[in-house]
Chain A
């Protein structure tokens, strides 16, 4: 798609705020942007989790400024942005990466769990964007990157709350792009394929594994399927970081980016197969793996016929 940008000195004065940098995509993105010469303000909810990022930055001889920021607490957002403006005078880019996942069949999710996902993924991203926009408008330039997910463009079972939140970000970003473009600000939505990051380990809903759930057998098989997909995942956090670096350096960034050959293939099929045959085939395939297996293993039949 795009060539990897070379480290350059012209980015030296450009400040970029990245959220959710203690691990995974945020950490890899912060390092990549620093390597390309951006002035990186890497934020995370708990500064106690800064060790990994700082160690990797030191190892590569990179300077990264770490700030506390909890996307669900507006005062921490204001404080972080005030610090960035104070130290560097500008805010060129924001990479909205902080997010949480939630796995479990819909009926096994509590409203509180889903609400928490929306508060972090959607309202949190909106809050950071809201705080950043006035500075970008004043400078008449800026880049807003929102890390969504393949799950923001294609729903999949056992991820209802998560996919709904990522779909919401896709809609938000698409509308926002049109609103702020006249002010010289570009908005890009980056959807990585499945990436083995710690977000998934923490994401199983409290009742997802409840043996009394009518979905219990299905969820067990789903989880096994995901573990397998994760082991075969081809998208690395570093690749996502590189794409985000390219977007921030591109003269005219696109609205949407997909990362990974698997999602690219998936969406090409969805686009070019006629009518809803993709949806039907996709559902059939997923269910065949989940349901077929759930039926044939030692799962008592009673669990499948509630």
Chain B
């Protein structure tokens, strides 16, 4: 029997990363689950034990090259990864004018430059192995931007662009690049890790009512979203095990409908319908908040 493939997943301590790490381990893959800080390790280890699987938990902070190098050394000592799943990311919420430049830069530091650091570190061995999968977990927000998340969406769009370029660069070396785009899912990203900017709720902001309204709408979307972390894990498994993976896997039925509509409708019409509706809803909700 051949040894099962080794996969590395970043940001595995919470949410999608954790669900994916557990799922892939259940499927018999050798999973290196990395966490930004080791205080996330006990809960992850407990979850693995409860699921009856084994994970290698390694500390890796995508913004810290030293920690990436250490994790890389440890992993490479065992084997060349078959797949690198770039999942670590942070959120940022607030209307653009209420975001501090430092907050936006921090989101880019983690989501874009951090992801690039990890890829740059792991790529040489994968390239020499002339096979492998490079996954980047973006978001439907990397295809369609929403109000109240301009900074976050900018980072996710950037990841999409980076992945499209890398896909072409790495194909001659036998490496497939895959973009996974989860829709809104009730994970920590939309709960404790929603990433509110310091001034997002500033009552002096001209956007105050509209932002509050947008968050109430988001709460409702999260609560009613039928998509689960397990759906994302399944899509990732498919991308790892299929012979010829697609470039993009959008996860979530509603998201796929919207993406299809965007593709098929003329842009100005889609913009008027979709973004127009988003703005109308926020306006209506803000009015309700005001009168309440």
- A276 is contacted by which of B127, B207, B248 (Cβ under 8 Å)? B248
- B167 is contacted by which of A133, A155, A175 (Cβ under 8 Å)? A155
Query: How many A residues have CB within 8 A of the partner chain?
Result: 63
Collect the chain A residues with CB atoms within 8 Å of residue B105's CB.
123
Once the chains bind, are B172 and A176 in contact (CB under 8 Å)? no
A156 to B127, CA, bound (A): 19
A160 touching B154 in the complex, CB below 8 Å, given contacts A111-B116, A181-B279: no
A7 to B177, CA, bound (A): 49
Nearest-neighbour CB distance to chain A for B112, whole angstroms, equals: 6
Nearest-neighbour CB distance to chain B for A90, whole angstroms, equals: 18
B101 close to A (CB within 8 Å)? yes
A172 close to B (CB within 8 Å)? yes
Contact with B along A141-185 (1 / 0, CB 8 A): 000000000011011111110011111111111111111111100
Closest to B286 in A: A182
Collect the chain B residues with CB atoms within 8 Å of residue A167's CB.
157-158, 160-162
Once the chains bind, are B113 and A304 in contact (CB under 8 Å)? no
Closest to A270 in B: B263
Interface residues of B in 81-140 (CB under 8 A from A): 95-97, 101, 104-105, 108, 112-113, 116-117, 119-120, 123-124, 127-128
Nearest-neighbour CB distance to chain A for B114, whole angstroms, equals: 10
A122 close to B (CB within 8 Å)? yes
Once the chains bind, are B127 and A306 in contact (CB under 8 Å)? yes
Nearest-neighbour CB distance to chain A for B96, whole angstroms, equals: 5
> Looking at chain B's contact residues, is the secondary structure mostly helix, strand, loop, or mixed?
helix
Contact with B along A268-306 (1 / 0, CB 8 A): 000100011001000100110001000000000000101
A164 touching B275 in the complex, CB below 8 Å, given contacts A172-B145, A178-B146: no
6 residue pairs of the A-B complex, CB under 8 angstroms, read: A111-B117, A118-B112, A155-B160, A168-B108, A175-B145, A179-B150
Closest 9 interchain pairs by CB?
A155-B164, A167-B161, A171-B157, A175-B150, A174-B145, A157-B168, A178-B147, A175-B145, A168-B158
Residues in chain A within 8 A of chain B (CB atoms):
74, 105-107, 111, 114-115, 118, 122-123, 126-127, 129-130, 133-134, 137, 151-152, 154-160, 163-183, 214-215, 218, 254-256, 271, 275-276, 279, 283, 286-287, 291, 304, 306
